[in-house]
Amino acid sequence: MISKKSMEQNLENVSLKQISLSFFFSQSKPLDLIELEQLLQSVGWGRRPMRRVQKALDNSLLKVGLWQHDPKFPRLVGFARCTGDGVLYATVWDVAINPVYQGFGLGKELMAYVIQSLKEMNIERVVLFADPGVISFL
Ligand SMILES: CC(C)(COP(=O)(O)OP(=O)(O)OC[C@H]1O[C@@H](n2cnc3c(N)ncnc32)[C@H](O)[C@@H]1OP(=O)(O)O)[C@@H](O)C(=O)NCCC(=O)NCCS
């Protein structure tokens, strides 16, 4: 079981080009499919049929959104999801940070949050699915 505390977690303020912004992770905040696909396209990935994406999300073990705090319009700036058997193995997919927010440590924080969440599920092994060029990111 994932504790309520781990479902939403605030990140310390991140200094972004001299603007101090705050972010939070959420496993429970509903994802807008269009916003999610826009994020994934912003990192260069191809468009996918919405119905299939929704099904893939429904079948995922873990979905994590990284949101920029805004009282009116919190913005999805990062995402990752995991599939797996829920006991032994999990695979991390679709790790993305909006290019505007890349290079400030958010990707690293996102991966740390994902790994911690999987640990809380007692998952023993975690695999990252990624292009060969970004393997060093982990
Ligand atoms: C890969 C990605 C998630 C990194 O996010 P980020 O917020 O820019 O990363 P961070 O600022 O936290 O950097 C973390 C570390 O990864 C490294 N890194 C960042 N982007 C990288 C890339 N494309 N390839 C290799 N290493 C990378 C950074 O240099 C940094 O290393 P350091 O700690 O030794 O300085 C982001 O660039 C992205 O969304 N890329 C496009 C999608 C993608 O390739 N996703 C990963 C595969 S599923």
Please give the residue range of the domain that contains residue 115: 7-137
Question: Using one digit for the tens of pLDDT, what is the confidence trace for 48-88?
Answer: 999 999 999 999 999 999 999 988 888 999 999 999 999 99
Number of domains composing the chain: 1
Specify if 130 maps to a domain: yes
Specify if 1 maps to a domain: no
Specify if 127 maps to a domain: yes
pTM for this entry? 0.88
- What percent of the chain has pLDDT above 70? 86
81: closest CA among 113, 108, 120? Answer: 113
| CA 7–ligand 1 middle distance (angstroms) | 23
Specify if 119 maps to a domain: yes
Cβ of 20 below 6 Å from ligand 1 = no
Cβ of 33 below 6 Å from ligand 1 = no
Other C-beta atoms lying within 10 Å of the C-beta of residue 87: 10
Specify if 2 maps to a domain: no
Ligand 1, residue 129: give the atom nearest the CA.
48
Cα 77 to Cα 114: distance, rounded to the nearest angstrom = 15
One-character DSSP codes across 60-79: -SEEEEEEE--SS--EEEEE
And the tokens for 85? Answer: 């058997």
Ligand 1, residue 101: give the atom nearest the CA.
7
Specify if 113 maps to a domain: yes
Other C-beta atoms lying within 10 Å of the C-beta of residue 137: 12
Provide the CATH number for the domain around residue 122. Answer: 3.40.630.30
